[in-house]
Chains A and B, each alone.
Chain A
Amino acid sequence: MSATYLEAIREAQARALAEDPRVFIYGQDVGAFGGAFKATKNLAKEFPGRVIDAPISEDAIVGLAVGAAIDGLRPIVEMQFADFSIVGFNQIVNQAATLFWRTHVPCPITFRLPCGGTSGSGPFHSQSLETVYAHYPGLVVMTPATVEDAYGMLLAAVTLEDPVIFCEHKLLYYHLKADKLPTEALPVGKARIARVGRDLTIVTYSAMLHEALVVAEELAGEGTEVEVVDLRTVKPLDTDTVMASVARTGRLLAVGESWPWGGVTAEIVARVTSEGFNLLDAPPQRLNAKDTPVPFHPNLWKAHRPTAGTIAAAARNLVRM
């Protein structure tokens, strides 16, 4: 059975609900309506009483999930948009993320955050927040880029004993398809070499993986072999895989869709620079969205985030350094 990225998320939740009676889904419009993106389509019918509509109260939604996790359940919280999770931010970073450290009682919650820009969505339905959540101790931050990972990593998230920020990219929901859902998954926290190359390493994750793969194909035609690393999980960050790739290529370009100040790409550059300075043949580079809110108009939106065009330009520049 072929599946889209969105269907993989729906199927993973169906399987989690079927296999573990402790799992339930809580969020706005997730019940009979099936969610704003239909990621919980029919699940309320298939699993009565376990897919529950919440009031528009992200703070209380997360708080309730924490209480349920303390009492032994495994909540999946759907934030309607990643942007709205900020209303529940205090509960996520101060309550859920500190609980195990403070009390030794685990807090297994999966927070699903539909993230990333789509054309016309504007400043409050387009944010990529992996960087913000990765900054806080006590959270695992997943950023699946493929249908297979959307499925396998969501299942893994539900079984982890820790709160997981699961960043699912809205741009991938409908367009990305796989022939079938995977039966095995790479371990959580392990990056994947998405394309092998010897001249330059692009480290990226989520939707930017696909832009990077386009660039790799394009540059191959020019005689430059780009290696593409898909981080899969930005926290923990698989430094070993990144370092090994940079050791092969000598050049690093880190690409992310979130804002440029600090963050995942800065972390990658910092680690490679401090731990592998001698591996580098050129200054490590990074590419992010522009430091403004995400714009509404398609012309502006396309220019706000990194694209195959801007990544290719940065890559060509880096190869010439």
Chain B
Amino acid sequence: MVSSVLSRETGAEAASRRESYIEAYRWMLLARTLDDKFASLYRAGKLQGGVFLGRGQEALSVAAGLALRKGDVFAPLIRDLAGRLAFGEPVVDAVRTYYGSALGPMRGRDGNVHRGRPREGLLPMISHLGAMISVVNGVLFARRMKGVAGTVGVASIGDGATSTGSFHEAINQAAVEKLPLVLVIANNQYAYSTFTDRQFACQALVDKAPGYGVTGWTVNGTDLADCLDVLTSAVARARGGGGPQLVEAHLLRLCGHGEHDDAGYVDPRLKSSEMGRDCLKVAEEFLLKQDWAGRDQLQHWRGESIEKVDQTVAQVQREAGPDPYREDWCALASKHLSEPHPS
């Protein structure tokens, strides 16, 4: 697919493609570096709660994040660190939320991957992930009602969430309302430990698209160029009035469900298949092969990522956790309607 594009494009287009690829790779690298840091902090007992990595899904994730622009809406899944960073989430938000820092966007009230800034278009997931799709619909619906044109929303889910009622209701709702929703399914073969043959019986998840009256796309999630190409096209089509787009990416989760999970159930044949390739390594090889970057350059970028991550972690480690005595313990915005707490 890449070579066919190459044969048609002009010099300027080729330069722009190179630039996009490099930008995407660098976000992937930063995400991987930060994920690796979270994993080691978890193993060292420094982080409370779960740690969920995006290992093997960075190419798809970053492509979704980069296809969006300011003013768009993004509801990431738990493996979307690369996409979050590309969409504009600061590294410090991620680290503060893992540490439960009072200075983070969730102020210790929610943690790890459950973070976002709703007013800036980054929606903080609830654990019932399929439920986020219709929330994206709602923002898009509101934009249209307010006469704001050109917004696109990406909702990111895994193969597991396609089995939920929320998925069905929301994709159907988006289709009925012709909303500019791009629903990205990272089919990473396992929902926690459950393989796809116990999750669905259709040939491919993308086959559901025509049933809902939406456009379907398939992408190789291990190939950054393919991810950039397909996600950019799907987002452009939604932005251009083409209605909801459903993208199914084929890839393999290269980690446990969370860092508590050794993923011993993953079929070794899948790991050694093309699907089991590490998208970050594939991208690095591509950069070298295209002569878009040399080994020294890659090493330099790695160093930059490590420095950024280490600096941020060091900063957040010095920050105080939330103080239960200063917490207002009020779940309502209307403070005067708060129930009294018996002492």
Contacts and interface: CB of A to CB of B under 8 A. Distances in A.
Interface of A: 24, 49-50, 54-55, 57-73, 90-91, 94-95, 97-108, 137-138, 140, 160-162, 188-189, 235-237, 239, 274
A67 B140 contact: yes
B40 to A, nearest CB: 27
Contacts of A91: 131, 134, 166
A57 B169 contact: yes
**4 tightest Cβ-Cβ pairs between the two chains A and B:** A67-B138, A63-B134, A60-B169, A71-B142
A64 B138 contact: yes
Contacts of B339: 235-237
Nearest to A237: B339
Contacts of A162: 332-334, 337
B336 interface: yes
B31 to A, nearest CB: 23
Most buried by A among B166, B173, B331: B331
B109 interface: yes
A97 B332 CA distance: 8
A59 B334 contact: no
Given A94-B126, A160-B334, A59 B166 contact: yes
A191 B73 CA distance: 42
A105 B107 CA distance: 13
Contacts of A70: 118-119, 123, 135, 138-139, 142
B170 A63 contact: yes
B268 interface: no
B128 interface: yes
A24 B145 CA distance: 9
A161 B334 contact: yes
Given A60-B166, A188-B337, A189-B336, A100 B138 contact: no
Contacts of B136: 67
B205 to A, nearest CB: 19
Contacts of A61: 134, 173
Contacts of B117: 103
B166 A68 contact: no
A44 B142 CA distance: 17
B176 interface: yes
A125 B15 CA distance: 63
A66 B331 contact: no
22 contacts: A24-B145, A57-B170, A57-B172, A57-B173, A64-B135, A64-B137, A64-B138, A67-B135, A67-B137, A68-B139, A73-B142, A73-B146, A90-B166, A91-B166, A95-B126, A99-B118, A137-B331, A140-B334, A162-B332, A162-B337, A188-B334, A236-B339
Nearest to B139: A67
A73 B146 CA distance: 9
A44 to B, nearest CB: 14
Contacts of A60: 133-134, 137, 166, 169-170, 172-173
A97 B331 contact: yes
Interface residues of B, number: 47
B259 interface: no
Contact of A55 (B110, B123, B173, B337): B173
B336 A66 contact: no
B338 A236 contact: yes
A105 B169 contact: no
B216 interface: no
Interface of B: 73, 105-107, 109-110, 114, 116-119, 123-124, 126, 128, 131-143, 145-146, 165-166, 169-170, 172-173, 176, 331-334, 336-340, 342
B119 to A, nearest CB: 6
A94 B331 CA distance: 12
Contacts of A68: 138-139, 141-142, 145
Contacts of A140: 332, 334, 337
A61 B142 CA distance: 13
Most buried by B among A58, A67, A189, A239: A67
Contacts of A107: 333
B137 A63 contact: yes
Contacts of B126: 94-95, 98
A26 to B, nearest CB: 9
B164 to A, nearest CB: 9
Most buried by B among A61, A63, A108: A63
Contacts of B140: 67
Contacts of A50: 145
Contacts of A59: 131, 134, 165-166, 169-170
B131 A71 contact: no
A103 B139 CA distance: 16
A70 to B, nearest CB: 5
A102 B112 CA distance: 13
Contact of B172 (A55, A62, A73): A55
A95 B127 CA distance: 10
Nearest to A271: B342
Given A99-B118, A103-B106, A103-B118, A55 B176 contact: yes
B128 A94 contact: yes
Given A59-B165, A60-B137, A67-B142, A103 B173 contact: no
